[in-house]
Amino acid sequence: MRLRRLVFKMSAYHDSELHDLEKRAKDWGAVSPQQFPGWIDPAKIDAMSQLSGTDYDVRWLDLMIEHHEGAVTLADVEASEGANDDLRSLARRIADAQRDEIAKMRELRGSLAAG
């Protein structure tokens, strides 16, 4: 149940964030997502179809933690080196939100793995 609540909370936040970032990336002609840290190979997601229950939840959390850590890396670079004040501010908000979510996912992962 805790995992489900976390997923719904993250989805609501990320829908808005992703829409803004996708629009900006398109405007800039940015590189493909596969070139960014935290990109998850679809094969890893497909492999999850062989898992169920706690094994599935733990693997999902592992992938999301990796994904969020990539987002923090990118956001930190933009926050420190970006030329646009609005984007630096957005990057700081993203990094803060991602770090908070990483902490929650790690805590949840630990309780699932121990349980």
Residues across the chain: 115
User: CB-based contacts of 77: which residues, under 8 Å, 6+ apart?
Assistant: 91
Q: Residue 25 above 70 pLDDT?
A: no
Measured CA to CA, the distance from residue 32 to residue 17 in angstroms comes to: 17
Of the pLDDT bands very low, low, confident and very high (cuts 50, 70, 90), residue 13 is low
Q: What is the mean pLDDT of the chain?
A: 82
What's the pLDDT tens digit per position in 29-62? 666 666 778 888 888 888 988 989 999 999 999 9
Task: Compare 111 and 16 and report the one with higher pLDDT.
Answer: 111
Whole-model pTM? 0.78
Q: Residue 1 above 70 pLDDT?
A: no
